Amino acid sequence: SGIAGGSLMLIPLACSIFGISNDIAMQVVGIGFIIGVIQDSTETALNSSSDVVFTAAACGITEVKK
């Protein structure tokens, strides 16, 4: 829950504290956003594939019981 990529909003603050330019901070935020999208897609694919395996196993058990 919360704001999607909300922690990325803290990067410009941290960069300004350490004297890093705003351009570099925005590049880091962009890279972080891309990583977040890839991570979310991977999690969704893994979750869906495990659902398929679970469903197949459950169907196999019901077939054995018949």
pLDDT, tens digit, 9 for 90 and up, residues 3-62: 777 888 899 999 999 999 999 999 999 999 999 899 999 999 999 988 888 888 888 777
Residue 58: predicted pLDDT: 84
CA atoms within 13 A on the CB side of 16: 6
Is 45 among the domain residues? yes
pLDDT of 1 over the 70 cut: no
Cα(14)–Cα(11) distance, integer angstroms: 5
Is 19 among the domain residues? yes
pLDDT of 66 over the 70 cut: no
Is 1 among the domain residues? no
Is 52 among the domain residues? yes
Domain count, the chain: 1
Cα(62)–Cα(9) distance, integer angstroms: 50
What is the total residue count of the chain?
66
Structure tokens at 59: 């169907």
Residue with the larger pLDDT of the pair 1 and 16: 16
pTM: 0.67
Q: Which domain holds residue 49?
A: 7-65
Is 2 among the domain residues? no
Cβ atoms of 8 and 32 within 8 Å: the answer is yes
